[in-house]
Amino acid sequence: MNSSSKDSKNGKKKNRTKEFTDALIYAAIVAFFIKVFFFEAYRIPTGSMENTLLVGDFLIVTKFTYGSTTPRNIPFTDVRLPFVKLPGFKDPKAGDVVVFDYPGDRDVLQSPVVLNYIKRCVGTPGDTIQVINKQLYRNGEMVPDAPNGQRFNSTKAPGEVEPDIFPKGSGWNKDNYGPLYIPKEGDKVSIDARNYEQWKVFVEREGHDIRLDGESIVVDGAPLPNGEYTVERNYYFMMGDNRDNSADSRYWGFVADDDIVGQALLIYWSWDPSIGFDEFFELMGSVRWDRIGMLIH
């Protein structure tokens, strides 16, 4: 074989390798673009949405419905990035099953880790929600339970205080809660020494410094005009369908519109995650075929 034919074969191999590499890079870019702006897969890790969603359900979530964002954090890390939210087709409405960036515990500015939660939106900006003996009310009207939701038999009595409930010092519990107004952009909230602790983290999460100076409220170094703070974002209230076993807005508060990631669309896979891969055949036997392809309502 002469050198020219060897060179020709080597050239073809190099071209095929380059084409394959280019195809992989292109596919990775397309997959990243789809994941960031259109769809993402999520796995249900807890039972807070039972029986609407089960532990071991794998979901497709649409990001563009409420408005996609540029990446919120460096992949596989808890390092957050400044992000831009794009316009969506609609705003979340009461009853939607929503994925959102967990805002953090009640008394902290931000969660130290990046976590996505999934709950049902039960209140939108400007709504008033209340729970009376486990029954949810929105704007004074009873809200039917989710068809597959769960409840325990026991009920906490009014006045049986849960100290970690939101807002701080409310004296409520998860079964008898509110009434609580959900702030919307442009609302004016009166803040004074009596309710300072309830609003402190809220104002800080909107990007401001707030402190109590004697009887006066100081925001960003200046006295709060007329004691009224102007709300800058729209907020939502989220609860799990398994509300007796759900850490939700009753404990850590409102979810800002910018923290909403997307709407849960359908279940694409479901099995029992308590079975390990070392028991492969038993694991495959646990596949919940009747749930695959199920739309989420």
What pLDDT, on the 0 to 100 scale, is given for residue 215? 87
Out of 64-68, 153-157, 222-226, 286-290, least confident range: 153-157
Report yes or no on 296 lying in a domain: no
Tell me which H or E stretch contains 217. strand 216-219
Domain containing 226 equals 188-230
Task: Tell me if 241 sits within 8 A of 96, measured CB to CB.
Answer: no
Structurally, the chain folds into a number of domains equal to 3
Please state the rounded mean pLDDT for residues 102-122: 95
Report yes or no on 7 lying in a domain: yes
Please state the rounded mean pLDDT for residues 243-260: 95
Please state the rounded mean pLDDT for residues 171-178: 96
Report yes or no on 255 lying in a domain: yes
Mark whether 193 and 164 lie in a shared domain: no
Using the Cα atoms of residue 65, residue 47, residue 59 and residue 102 in order, give the sign of their dihedral: positive
Mark whether 244 and 146 lie in a shared domain: yes
Mark whether 119 and 199 lie in a shared domain: no
Mark whether 131 and 223 lie in a shared domain: no
Report yes or no on 297 lying in a domain: no
Name the band, by pLDDT with cuts 50, 70 and 90, for residue 6: low
Mark whether 281 and 161 lie in a shared domain: yes
Nearest to 97 by CA among 286, 283, 284, 246: 246
2 has a pLDDT exceeding 60? no
Q: Is the pTM of this model over 0.75?
A: yes
Using CA atoms, how far apart are residues 247 and 182, in angstroms rounded to an integer?
18
Mark whether 262 and 283 lie in a shared domain: yes
Please state the rounded mean pLDDT for residues 289-294: 96
Mark whether 175 and 262 lie in a shared domain: yes
Out of 30-34, 37-41, 198-202, 259-263, least confident range: 30-34
Please state the rounded mean pLDDT for residues 185-196: 96
Mark whether 157 and 94 lie in a shared domain: yes
Mark whether 132 and 272 lie in a shared domain: yes
Mark whether 11 and 142 lie in a shared domain: no
Tell me which H or E stretch contains 94. none
Report yes or no on 268 lying in a domain: yes
32 has a pLDDT exceeding 90? no
3 has a pLDDT exceeding 60? no
Please state the rounded mean pLDDT for residues 135-163: 90
What pLDDT, on the 0 to 100 scale, is given for residue 162? 95
Mark whether 150 and 278 lie in a shared domain: yes
Mark whether 264 and 157 lie in a shared domain: yes
Report yes or no on 160 lying in a domain: yes
**Span 113-141, pLDDT tens digits:** 999 999 999 999 999 999 999 999 999 99
